[in-house]
Amino acid sequence: MKKEPAQSRLEAVNLSSYPPALGETEETGGSLSQDDVIRRLFAPASNLPQPRNKQAIVVVSAGTERAVTHSQLENLLAHGIEQLKERGVKEGAKVVFYCENCPELSSTILACWALNAMAVLIDYRAERADVLAMSKKLGAKLLLTSKKLYKTFVSETKLFTEEGLDVLDVSAFADFKDTAHKSQFDIETLDLDRPAFAILTSGTTGTPKTSVHNLRSLVRNVIDLADATDLQGNMTALTPLPISHIFGLSVLLVTQVLGLKTVMTELEPVGFVKAVYRYKPQLIAALPQFYGALLAAPDGFIDLTDARLLLCGGAPLAVSLANKFEKKFGKRLNNGYGSTESKIVALNKDGPALSVGKPVGSVTIDIVNEQDEVLPDGEEGEVRITSSMLMDGYINNEKETNKVLHNGHYYTGDIGRFEDGNLFVVGRKGDIVIVGGVVVQAGEVEEALRNYPEVKEVAVTAVQNKQLGQIIKASVVLMDDKIADKLKSDNRNESLEAQRQLQRQFRAFCKEHLSRYKRPMKWEFLGPDDNLPKTLAGKIDKKTMSSAKPK
């Protein structure tokens, strides 16, 4: 594999202070080497100990199943390389991917990397105008999308073609899965240090940025996660996560490198629950609301007897959900931690329910104060990550890059603490409410409320107040159907009494667990079937909540 010069090629980013990258054939201390991972990703049928001759990736959608083998994935990869070459994709080119989960998407991303080009991954649920704007901003010339996203493909993609973008329907590649292609690709030409993929950050409390990563850092993350999860190739993994997000991408690559059958479900709870019922997977990776959907399924419908690991991430996990899930299924949810900038860096296998666990592999996580001094257990500060798996930076955004990447560390902007080696993340650094001049971290209030037995989901926002400047508003999604039904009752008196009852209960709880200025003064209660607004990544969208007009 090609050796990269010491300097980065990412626009406007200086990586001279980064920790040293792995050597090209360096062993990792686990069962896989860097070379193992590369060869299993790009030539699985030839390099996996037991390649799947029936089902390597299974896509379940609208009640139908479509599967491909590892040999078919190699064919799709070779075809993808030839298609990209025909459209002029060369080293350093930027290719935009705007497509639903499918084997053709994953194999063409690999094809992009095989040509040392950069894959720009955009959620297929994003607005098309935003996709066009991002493509133009990055100077991309090729957009890979899917006919399945359009009613009339040619007319609806004119938005892109009229702006000079070449549009390629990746779903048509499925016809070539059984056709062997003699690709000229040589695995030794891979440039592991060139920017390989770009993903938009979630932007839950700020403006989304474009995080860029090289392939070497992704391979390192795959190795550490493979060691941490301890999975075998005869297992089945199931996920509703889009591979246009770092959580979904990492899970797919780990499961494929280990040889698991990977079932990709629809990105909504009903299809997910049906797929879990059908496939009875050993590994599930999903957002908390999907585990809530399993919990809401009829008794006896879901069998998790074979489940080994239930990865939960992308949004905070409530104690009530974790406890009720374990009580019903006898399985604990394995919380995790990471970001678009850092990839997955921590996993909770046996720690406290609200903890996101311990660092994986070679990752170092510290809690630091404003002077960048490491704080002891129990003290809250900013979560700082030191790792060879970090992003290269934000593309064309040197100012924001330098804010979070310096001295070999990534400063996450998350507020957290360690307890007995377990990391707890309580909120965002800038997510605050100033009550009468007192700065309150919204995450600290949310963490306390997530410990209330009937809280399914919670978000704290600021509400303007003439006397105090701001007061704290708590929006709570409840676990209890009965009290939620009373809230929605047509009988106004019954609805008001339910509201008052909940406020009394929650205020009493807050009096025990929060100091005076940290207690919410305004409450919003929602039923189990209601949802707080979410970003495409599944995180609570506080920008939308803050801009919404009061009811």
Each residue of 308-367: pLDDT tens digit?
999 999 888 888 889 999 999 999 999 999 999 999 999 999 999 889 999 999 999 999
Is the pLDDT higher at 547 or at 438? 438
Largest CA distance in the chain: 74
490 in the same domain as 512: yes
| 391 and 440 co-located in one domain | no
Say yes or no: 76 and 186 in one domain: yes
Examine the pLDDT at 545 and tell me if it is beyond 90.
Answer: no
Task: Choose one of 423, 458, 484: the last residue of a domain.
Answer: 423
pLDDT higher than threshold 70 for residue 27: no
| Claim to verify: residue 417 and residue 491 sit in the same structural domain | no
Classify residue 10: in a domain, yes or no.
Answer: no
pLDDT at 290: 94
User: Which residue range forms the structural domain that includes residue 512?
Assistant: 431-547
For residues 264 and 201, the model is more confident at 264
Q: What mean pLDDT, rounded, does the chain reach?
A: 88
Looking at residue 509, what is its pLDDT? 95
Q: What is the dihedral of CA 202, 141, 250, 172, to 10 degrees?
A: 120
396, 423, 450: which is the final residue of a domain?
A: 423
Does 332 lie in the same domain as 223? yes
What average pLDDT does range 386-414 have in this prediction?
A: 94
Q: What is the rounded average pLDDT of the residues 55-80?
A: 93
- Does residue 8 fall inside a structural domain? no
Residue the block writes with tokens 């903890």: 355
Whether residue 382 has pLDDT greater than 50: yes
Joined tokens for residue 408 = 């070999």
Question: Binning pLDDT at 50, 70 and 90, where does residue 11 land?
Answer: very low
| pLDDT tens column, 439-460 | 888 988 998 999 898 898 999 9
272, pLDDT greater than 90: yes
Reduced DSSP (H G I as helix, E B as strand, rest coil) percent helix, strand, coil of the chain, to 5: 35, 25, 40
- What CATH number is associated with residue 389? 3.40.50.12780
Structural domain includes residue 11: no
pLDDT at position 387 is 95
CATH number for the domain that contains residue 467? 3.30.300.30
Half-sphere exposure of 403 toward its Cβ, with a 13 Å CA cutoff? 9
Q: CA 32, CA 72: separation in Å to the nearest integer?
A: 24
Q: Do 391 and 504 reside in the same domain of the chain? A: no
**402, 423, 444: which is the final residue of a domain?**
423
User: How many distinct structural domains can be found in the chain?
Assistant: 2
Q: Are residues 453 and 376 in the same domain?
A: no
Same domain flag for 392 and 456: no
Residues 210 and 248 in one domain: yes
Q: CA angle, corner 408, sides to 406 and 412, nearest 5?
A: 65
Same domain, 460 and 333: no
Residues 381 and 498 in one domain: no
* The pLDDT value given to residue 394: 95
Tell me whether residue 182 is in a domain.
yes
Q: 204-218: per-residue pLDDT in tens?
A: 445 678 999 999 999
Over residues 396-414, the mean pLDDT reads: 93
Asked if the structure places residue 46 within a domain, the reply is: yes
Residue 439 within a domain: yes
- Answer yes or no: do 405 and 470 share one domain: no
Q: What pLDDT is attached to residue 381? A: 94
- Res. 20 pLDDT band, cuts 50 70 90: very low
- The answer to whether residue 123 is domain-embedded is yes
Residues 280 and 306 sit within 8 Å (Cβ to Cβ) = yes
Residue 22: band (very low, low, confident or very high) from pLDDT cuts 50, 70, 90: very low
Mind listing the pLDDT tens digit for each residue in 143-182? 999 999 999 999 999 999 999 999 999 999 999 898 887 7
Structural domain contains residue 507: yes
The dihedral sign for the CA sequence 383, 386, 392, 398? positive
